[in-house]
Every structure is written in C-alpha cells, then in structure tokens.
Amino acid sequence: MTPLGFSIPFTTRAKVLVQRLWTRPRGWDDPNLPADLLEKWNVWEKELPDLSKLKLPRCYLPANFDVETSRFSLHVFGDASEVAYGSVAYLCAEQHGKIHTAFVMARSRVAPKRQLSMPRLELCAALSSAQLAQFLRQELTIAIETVTLWTDSTTVLTWIQSESCRYKVFVGTRVADIQELTEPHSWRYVDSSNNPADDITRGRTLMELANSNMWSRGPGFLREPPDQWPVKPIVMAQEDTSETRKAIFCGLVADNRNPDMLDASQYASWSALVGATYQSLYGAAIQDVDKDSLDYRHAEACILRRCQEYSFPEEFKALKSGNQVPVASRLNTLAPEFDPELNLICVGGRLRRLDGISRAEMHPVVLDPHHQVTKLIVKHFDERLLHPGPDRVFAELRRHFWVLRGRQAIKRHQRECVECQKWRAKPTLPIMADLPSARLRLYQPPFFSTGVDCFGPFMVKIGRRTEKRWGVIFKCLTTRCIHLDLLNSIDTDAFLLALRRFIARRGTPFEIFSDQGTNFRGAETELREAFREMEPRLQEQLASYQITFRMNPPAAPHFGGAWEREIRSVKSALQVVVGNQSVPEDVLQTILIEVEGILNSKPLGYISSDVADLDPVSPNMLLMGRQDALLPQVIYTPEPLSKRRWRHAQTIVDHFWSYFTRHYLPGLQTRQKWQRVTQDLAVNTVVMIIDPQLPRAQWSVGRVVKLIPSADGHVRSAQVQVNDRVYLRPVAKLVRLPALPDGGEMDSKN
C-alpha cells in the first residue's frame, strides 16, 4: 500500500473479504476457509505481482508550472456503498489559463457490521471527506485558496445545509462535526459517473489502476471553468423525515392575578415600583402618595416580602413558623428573626442592647443581592446620594437593608451605571503595538524617517525688551539622531524655514511624522500646493524628493513618544543651564546646538564594563564619524587605516549598524507597558472624550462612528460623533461608557 492511498481501490477489496470472513461462524483454529471467500481471496492475491506497475509522479506540478504564480485549489470527493465508504483528494493548479490536476491522498473504511441506511453511509463518507480536507490544509505547505467537497447524495447536502439539532443523534453529531470542519457553501453535488470516489466502493484491479484514468488524474470537469461543473438536480425531492427529531413543546404558565406581585424588571426605579404596587393595592385613582403613610410602608413591605419568599423560601417558612433556619443557610451568621408586624426576615444580631438608634437600623431587612428588587434599591440609593463611591452608598444602604455581599452588589451596579462611569471610568488601552516600519529603516541614512515637534516658549533678550522663541526638534526614528533649531514664531513660515535649514544640513527625509499642530498642517498644505504649481518637467525631477507627511491623531502624544522623550531631555538640560533667566538669542541657539551634541553622544543599548569590549556606538557615529567632537576617530577593524578616507568612513558605518542590530535592536522587543490584549472599541459604542483643559463634568459624550485599526488589527484611534461634529481621537483619550438604556437620550455634555 502506498502512503498516499493510491492503491486503496485494490486494498479495500481485501478489507471487505476480511470483514466477511469474521462474520462467518467458525472455530478459532479452523484452517478451512469458506470456498466462496477463498476463491475471491486467491483472485485478489494473484494480482499482487502487478503492484510494481503502479507509478505516480512525486511532484504535484509539471515542470512548466511555477509554484509562485500558480493558484491552488483542493477538491475532495466522497462516496459510500453497502460494504465500504471513503474519500479521495485532488490538487488543482491554475496558471495562465492552464489547469493541472494531481492525485493527493485517499482514505477508505469498511461499512460497520450493523446495517446502516445508505443516507447514513453517505454521511459517513462526507465526514471522511471533511476530515481529509482539514488534514491536508494543515499539512500542505502551499497556499490553498479554495476547498471544494463533492458528494453524489442530495440527502447529505440537505443535512449539511440544515441545523444539526433537528436530527437524531447519529446524524446530528456527524452533521455538527462536518459544519465545524468545513463551510456549508463549500459542498457541491457531483453525479456518480464523474465521482472518482466511486472506485473505492466498487473496487479496482491493479492493472486498471496502472492505466491513466479518472482515479489517477481526477474527473475531467476539474480542468474546465467552474460554470461547466456539475450542478445539483432541480427535481424537488421529498425531505427524509426518518432522521428528524420529534418536536417537543415546552410552555410556561404564569399567574399574575395577585395584585402585589408586580414584575420588578418592568420598572426603572424603586419609587416607580412602590408607586405601582400602592396603586394596585389601594386604587389607581390615587395620585398624590404620602411616602410616610402606613399604606405606603405596607406597599413597600409587600414587595420586600415577595422578594424574600422568592430568595429565601426555606428560611421564610421556618422563621414564620417559629423554627430556626437550616444549618447550611446563608443567613446563619446574622441570627435572623421574623418581624411579626411587617412579616419580614430581619437581622437579629448582637446589638439588641444598643440605645439611641431606631429599630429599623438595629434590625434591617435582609435582601438577596441578585434579586431585581435589590438592584432597584441599590440604584435608588446611588442616585439619591449623587453617585458617590461604593462605601458611601453601602453605609447609607445598611441603615435600612442588609444586602448579602452588599459591597459587591453596589460595585456591580456602579460598573453598569452610566453616571458613575462618567466620574470614575478610565480608558481601556489596547496592547502596545509593534514597532512601525519607520523605526526599523535599517541601513538607511540618518533622518530617513523623521519625527518633528516644537517646544517652548523661551524668553530671549533683544536690547532692553524680551521676546518669545520656540525650539524645534527633528529626530531620526531609527538611529535616534536629533537635530535642534530655534524658531522666532510657531507659524507655518517659521517651520518651513527651519525645514529648509534642516534639509540643507541633514538631507531630505523620506517621511516626516508630526502631531496635528497648525504649523505642521500649514507646512504640508503649502508644500503640496507649491509642488502642484511647478512646471511638469520640474515636477518629474523633484518627484523622488517629495516628502511624505504623516499626522498622528489629535491629543495623542504617546503616538510620538520617540521624540516627546527627547524633548523632555532637552528641557531638563536647558533648565540646568539657563533656568528661568532670559538670555540673548545667539546664546540660546548655541546652548541648543551644544545640547544636540550631548544627546547625539548618548550610547545606544547596554554599556559593557569590560575594558576589552569596543566602545558603544552613538548617533554621532553616523553624523560625525566619532563619538563626539572632543574625541578623535577610532579604527574598529584590525586592518591599518587605509589612505582612502571613504573606506574608513564605510568601516565606521558598518560598525554602527553591526552594533545596532546585535545590541540595541533586540532591546526593543519587549513591551514595557500595555502588555495585555483588551477588547477593541466597536461602532456605536458610547464614549466620553478626555479633555485635560476642562473639568470632568464638562467632557463631551458621543458615539463611535468609525474605527481606524492599526497594522496589527487593533483599534488605536476612532472617529467620535458629538452632536453634528466628528472628532478623531486616540483610544487612550476615550472613556468607554455602559450602553444607554432604551429610549435614553445622549447629551453632548455631562
């Protein structure tokens, strides 16, 4: 037998003979085989010398097919008979309109001894096809675009397209397995004459398998367009109901004739529930209800009594009859007692001799935290106290009711309360993203991918007056090189002039990242308009030098953390040198350039304490060819210094990138924060936009209308609609709120 199962039509004949042999009544040491089975076995055995004539190409594709440009699909056929069932798979490759089919694998099994109907056997063959397709998709290393499964049983196709729970156990379990392994739309009908799996159930001789036929190459329609494939017959056949479960009716009868048994889940507040109960007891015509009247207290007691009868049925009966609660009861530690006036279970406790407090505070009513009435009471106290912390609500609630595990019940309510979450909820931060491609531009010149931002202002002396100046930082996102400059204002013109000075000294960057500052947006707009107004020939010459501006979402400084951290370092250095004093403009510019040199001299990665190790590299290695301006150039190779300076410079660059990839780059693998995968935002989620400039009570509330996923599929920014305006904000600035109740209105402000 070949590993691929190519000889299965021949070997299945032997499996069937062995099964029939075991069904005949004979002794365990009887050497005489039945004559009819012995004759068939001898016929099968005489064909074994022809086994060497079986030949099968080891490659799935011919020599003129290219694996990279070919499109692959998998086709699995299944068939069954009264004695055996099985499946066979073929791989189709399409390239430039040519289609090639190849035999992949086949499986077979003999039918069970217990007689099964033909639809059940065909279903077993379909399950074998699904399992074979799943196995091949996992084991084959080539990319398979589509998987199609074929069967010649219309009954099986109907079962696969239906719900598995409709059928009896044998059919239902197998249909469920098939639906889990495959998609229902991937199943198609094939007639028996074009089904190569029919050879498994009918059996073939080795000479027949040795010849080129449908078993070795697959059916001919696979090499035709899909519109010429077999289709399911249009004849409407009656559905086989023998495998369908019998319908069972389950009903529930509820009696709501008792007026004090109102459904608490139909009311939004505790006051509404008590008011409706009061009106059902004493008449609907009463409008003004005195909440201190005995009748109103009686309505409250009716609700609480029904709640206790539902939550503590055994305890209620035992205490009402004067007995003790069961030993395993949840109320044992409370020493519960029955109040004969209110007909309620109250806390007995150990404070009976305490003077100065009311009986209701000394013996509060016991409630179950999971009952809907308890949830309405917790909501009532939370709203009455203007949504404070859980301990404040718990202390006030304990004066009237003893809720089992009350703190957890209050916290559970406040997690679902919109107003509570407005005051206490925090943003749900997604897992830290992978490093973008701009941080990994290896072997590119410095400032190939650049982040830019402004900082300040700083006061400078000009004569007797003082004016404001701002700093601008350009940082290479890969090599951590920085470039500092001074701006006399933060408008678009000043930034464009600083950009021209930066390009003249450092070269033209491929892309620039920045925040949504108006000066950066203005620079981007003016550069685009100026580029459009150039002559066509000049446009062609400067097309390769066009800079791509990439804007981070508004209010998202963590999107530019690579250069925001350097701004902190620059400000720390300026605070040490300058402090709060005003200096002349040329002094401030000199200090900025010196700070630039200091920061560019910072080593990258781990600094070894071993004197035998080479000096760590720094950004200045690429900018100046040495660690800093005070040190001479160093040779990093054992060869003597060549007379050609360019070769020495290339040696320094190679040393930088070698150290960078071996020592610095692996340190960027770990996630220092935001390490857990959280649930992403969804469209129509109600969120509150964080605005540090406003108090929390004035933060805007809106709905998410569009998600902006990152390269890893996680949502890191979204568009939020507040009234008629749409804002783009990062997820770190959005506080997710619970869904508004049905019919609730969404306000733009708290």
Residue 728 pLDDT > 80:
yes
Distance, CA of 683 to CA of 680 (rounded, Å): 10
Residue 659 pLDDT > 80:
no
Encoding tokens for residue 151? 């069967």
At 133 the pLDDT is: 92
Q: What is the mean pLDDT of residues 443-455?
A: 85
What is the separation of C-alpha 602 from the centre of its chain, rounded to a whole number of angstroms?
39
Residue 442 pLDDT > 70:
yes
Residue 353 pLDDT > 70:
yes
Residue 35 pLDDT > 50:
yes
Distance separating the N- and C-terminal Cα atoms of the chain: 76
Residues 6+ apart with CB under 8 A from 26: 34
CB 681 within 8 A of CB 658: no
Question: With the C-alpha atoms ordered 510, 516, 517, 520, is the resulting torsion angle positive or negative?
Answer: positive
In tens, the pLDDT along 671-709 reads 777 667 788 888 888 888 888 888 888 888 889 998 888
In tens, the pLDDT along 357-382 reads 777 778 888 999 999 999 999 999 98
Q: What is the mean pLDDT of residues 615-629?
A: 70
Residues 6+ apart with CB under 8 A from 75: 89, 90, 91, 92, 147, 148, 149, 150, 218, 222
CB 129 within 8 A of CB 181: no
Per-residue pLDDT band for 124 (boundaries 50, 70, 90) equals very high
CB 494 within 8 A of CB 488: yes
Distance, CA of 164 to CA of 166 (rounded, Å): 5
Question: With the C-alpha atoms ordered 432, 434, 436, 440, is the resulting torsion angle positive or negative?
Answer: positive
Residue 83, SS3 per DSSP? coil
Residues 6+ apart with CB under 8 A from 105: 4, 5, 88, 89, 132, 136
Encoding tokens for residue 250? 């389950």
CA triplet 468, 474, 476: central angle to 5 degrees?
165
Residues 6+ apart with CB under 8 A from 186: 146, 147, 148, 149
Q: Pick the closest to residue 147 from 82, 206, 92 (CA basis).
A: 92
Report the DSSP pairing between strands 482-487 and 548-551: unpaired
Per-residue pLDDT band for 23 (boundaries 50, 70, 90) equals confident
Q: Which of 180-189, 216-225, 645-654 has the lowest mean pLDDT?
A: 645-654
**676 class by beta-carbon count within 10 Å (0-12 exposed, 13-18 middle, 19+ buried):** exposed
Residues 6+ apart with CB under 8 A from 181: 130, 131, 133, 134
Q: Pick the closest to residue 409 from 423, 390, 429, 392 (CA basis).
A: 390
At 208 the pLDDT is: 85
**723 class by beta-carbon count within 10 Å (0-12 exposed, 13-18 middle, 19+ buried):** exposed
Distance, CA of 5 to CA of 56 (rounded, Å): 11
Q: What is the mean pLDDT of residues 205-220?
A: 86
CB 287 within 8 A of CB 279: no
Distance, CA of 149 to CA of 160 (rounded, Å): 12
Q: Please indicate whether residue 199 or residue 252 has the higher confidence score (pLDDT).
A: 199
Q: What is the mean pLDDT of residues 540-554?
A: 68
Residue 629 pLDDT > 60:
no
**629 class by beta-carbon count within 10 Å (0-12 exposed, 13-18 middle, 19+ buried):** exposed
Q: What is the mean pLDDT of residues 307-325?
A: 88
Report the DSSP pairing between strands 548-551 and 401-403: unpaired
**134 class by beta-carbon count within 10 Å (0-12 exposed, 13-18 middle, 19+ buried):** middle
Distance, CA of 688 to CA of 746 (rounded, Å): 11
At 2 the pLDDT is: 44
CB 468 within 8 A of CB 459: yes
Residue 253 pLDDT > 90:
no
Rg, the chain, Cα only? 40
DSSP 320-385: HTTPPPPTT-TTGGG--EEETTTTEEE---S-TT--SS-HHHHSPEEE-TTSHHHHHHHHHHHHHT
Query: Which amino acid does the sequence have at 142?
Result: I
Backbone angles phi, psi at 220, to 5 degrees: -70, -25
Residue 655 pLDDT > 80:
no
Per-residue pLDDT band for 128 (boundaries 50, 70, 90) equals very high
At 6 the pLDDT is: 86
DSSP 510-573: SEEEE-S-HHHHHHHHHHHHHHHHS-HHHHHHHGGGPPEEEEPPTT-GGGGHHHHHHHHHHHHH
Distance, CA of 331 to CA of 347 (rounded, Å): 9
CB 660 within 8 A of CB 617: yes
Residue 239 pLDDT > 70:
no
Residue 417 pLDDT > 60:
yes
Per-residue pLDDT band for 605 (boundaries 50, 70, 90) equals low
Q: What is the mean pLDDT of residues 116-128?
A: 91
Distance, CA of 315 to CA of 336 (rounded, Å): 9
Q: What is the mean pLDDT of residues 404-408?
A: 90
Encoding tokens for residue 639? 């060869």
For all residues of the chain together, what is the average pLDDT? 80
The most confident of the ranges 285-289, 515-519, 572-576 is 572-576
Backbone angles phi, psi at 367, to 5 degrees: -135, 150
Residue 541 pLDDT > 80:
no
Encoding tokens for residue 386? 């203007």
In tens, the pLDDT along 143-186 reads 888 999 999 888 899 888 888 888 888 888 999 999 999 998 89
Q: What percent of the chain has pLDDT over 70?
A: 82
Q: What is the mean pLDDT of residues 244-251?
A: 72
Q: What is the mean pLDDT of residues 455-474?
A: 86
Q: How many helices (H) and strands (E) does the chain have?
A: 23, 20
Report the DSSP pairing between strands 449-462 and 583-584: parallel
Per-residue pLDDT band for 126 (boundaries 50, 70, 90) equals very high
Residue 640 pLDDT > 70:
no
- Secondary structure percentages of the chain, helix, strand, coil, to 5: 40, 20, 40
